[in-house]
Amino acid sequence: MSSFSLKAGILGAAALLGASIASPAAQADQISVTHWGVLMYGAPYAVALEKGFFKESGIEVDGILTSKGGGTTVRNVLAGGLPYGEVSLAAAVAAAKEGLDIKIVNTGAASVYDILWVAPKGSEIKSVKDLAGKKVAFTSPKSVTEMVLLMSLAAGGVDVKKVDRISTGGIGSGLTAMTQGGVVAAPILDPIWSRESDKYQPVFFAKDLLPLMTQTVGITTSEFAKSSPEKLKAIIEGRRKGVDFLYANPEEAGKLFAKAYKIDEALGIRAVKNMIDVKYWGRGDLDLKAMDNMVEGLRIIGEVEGPMDWSKLVDKSFLPDDLKS
């Protein structure tokens, strides 16, 4: 997962905000989704594109802009295509703290339950309590994986000071370090877990230790919210239809996801079913308690100080009526 050290990316996005409002977008038919083509956030969009749900809802969307997350995704939202994108809640909060006039308009990934820590098959490391006194990988300082690791250790009754936490820079790097004996456990998530599960054994799942924590949200600019409310509603509705199709038709949805991500169909189906099991994708409704839970995690890793006033950042008016409460 990408680092939440977002200031440079956010400031770069700020420089583009005026231009994105003042001039027509160069790619008015594309929206931005963090880690599109790599992680599971994009599955509802893949389905919605293939099934024509965006067009059916009243907007032409024919492509997705991708990024490695954080401030880069915010930058994409402000600089190119339709000024809407799915970004980490951390990136949205950082953008607002830097003074960007954005709005959170829907939930994307409703939890961090795609994340688990694994050990090599046959390892004596079988639970979170087994990590005491050991070296354990996470990706980058101030990342989702660092936050989830710290919170999971605490929730599992393990003194975090007794765990040697090692930043390995990426999911693949962590798994390599583990294979080479540098750490006893490392984080993994789908679709990588579905592809590599025969090599590793679970140590702990975030879903078993942590409360609901909103991971990604849909954001837009205040200007676009004022000028094009129907387009925003159509994007949110099109994505919602994609989510509903995923839950109702996991086999077909998995194939569509695999096609969009250029991965094996069986792998796509397994990954989709894994996310369905933990109800990973939100339909759009904004759970402020789950957002508060994520912000509390961000405080633990030093990314947020002070209270969050969601009334200034969240706008539920573009949600379908049944999701506004």
Element (H, E) at 241: helix 229-248
Query: Which tokens go with 294?
Result: 């994520």
Strand partners, 201: 119
The predicted model scores a pTM of 0.88
Q: How far is CA 316 from the centre of its chain?
A: 20
Q: Tell me the per-residue pLDDT of 181-220, one tens digit each, with 9 for 90 and over.
A: 999 999 999 999 999 999 999 999 999 999 999 999 999 9
Phi, psi of 105 (to 5 degrees): -120, -15
Decide if 40 contacts 240 (C-beta within 8 A): no
Strand pairing report for 30-34 and 84-88: parallel
Please provide the average confidence, as pLDDT, over all residues in the chain: 89
Distance CA 148, CA 151 (A): 5
What is the predicted pLDDT for the residue at 69?
Answer: 55
What is the predicted pLDDT for the residue at 81?
Answer: 65
In this predicted structure, the answer to whether residue 98 has a pLDDT above a threshold of 50 is yes
Does this chain's domain 7-111+213-323 share its CATH topology with 115-208?
yes
CATH of region 115-208:
3.40.190.10
Domain boundaries of the chain, sorted by first residue: 7-111+213-323, 115-208
Query: Which tokens go with 205?
Result: 């799942």
> Please, which residues have CB within 8 angstroms of residue 296's CB and are 6 or more apart in sequence?
none
In this predicted structure, the answer to whether residue 46 has a pLDDT above a threshold of 70 is yes
Q: Tell me the per-residue pLDDT of 63-97, one tens digit each, with 9 for 90 and over.
A: 998 866 555 667 777 776 689 999 999 989 988 88
CATH tag for 7-111+213-323 (out of 3.40.190.10, 3.30.70.20, 1.10.3470.10, 1.20.1280.290): 3.40.190.10
What is the predicted pLDDT for the residue at 48?
Answer: 98
Query: Which tokens go with 16?
Result: 């583009």
What is the predicted pLDDT for the residue at 212?
Answer: 97
